[in-house]
């Protein structure tokens, strides 16, 4: 991997690890929002990133760990050059058999639970790029990238 090259342009980064409990969904999105606040994002950009983080973390808790609270969810956030924000949500849960199908709007593996099946669609439309890597039995890694608009007044 080109880790050395990547490190060259990382400006700031953080990593959070927390139990797969639903009350941590709020914690995760607020933490990411606070971390990127120094970039002075617009309210819209901030809301979109918070929503995408919330979707990815909820997926980890509901689907990856099947609401078993003993799992751990990792959220990484990297601020790269040119106001590029990279958020990665990682779990060691059950994994996704068919990522392409899971990403389809309205698809849900739990139709009886009032799940909307819109999680990945929301992430997709609120972020500039979405990458999902998953191995059944090992876990899932959701990487989301957003390029913030240039700040005014600088």
Partner 1 sequence: MQIEFEMTDDILIVNLDGELDHHFSTVIREEIDKTIDTFHSKHLIFNFEKVDFMDSSGIGVIMGRYNKISQLKGRLLITGCSEYIDRILEMAGIYTIATRMKSVADSIECIKHDMIEKGAKSENE
The contact set with partner 1 (CB under 8 A) reads 22-23, 25-26, 29, 44, 47-48, 50-51, 54-55, 58, 61-62, 105-106, 113-116, 118-119, 121-122, 125
Q: Smallest distance from the beta carbon of 3 to partner 1, in angstroms?
A: 32
DSSP state of 48: H
Terminal Cα distance for the chain, rounded = 35
29 catalytically annotated: no
141 catalytically annotated: no
Minimal CA–CA distance to 69: which of 25, 117, 10, 36? Answer: 25
Q: Smallest distance from the beta carbon of 34 to partner 1, in angstroms?
A: 14
Give dist(CA 53, CA 32) in Å, integer.
Answer: 8
Whichever of 51 and 80 has its CB closer to partner 1, that residue is: 51
């Amino acid at each position: 991997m080109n880790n050395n090259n990547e490190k060259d342009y990382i400006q700031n980064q953080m990593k959070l690890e927390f139990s797969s409990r639903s009350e941590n969904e709020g914690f995760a999105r607020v933490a990411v929002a606070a971390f990127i606040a120094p970039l002075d994002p617009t309210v819209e950009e901030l809301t979109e990133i918070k929503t995408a983080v919330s979707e990815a973390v909820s997926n980890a808790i509901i689907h990856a760990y099947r609401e078993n609270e003993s799992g751990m969810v990792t959220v990484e956030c990297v601020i790269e050059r040119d106001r590029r924000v990279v958020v990665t949500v990682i779990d060691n849960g059950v994994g996704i058999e068919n990522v392409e199908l899971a990403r389809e709007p309205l698809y849900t593996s739990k139709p009886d639970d009032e799940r909307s099946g819109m999680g990945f669609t929301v992430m997709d439309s609120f972020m500039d790029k979405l990458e999902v890597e998953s191995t059944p039995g090992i876990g899932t890694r959701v990487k989301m990238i957003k390029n913030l608009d240039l700040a005014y007044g600088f």
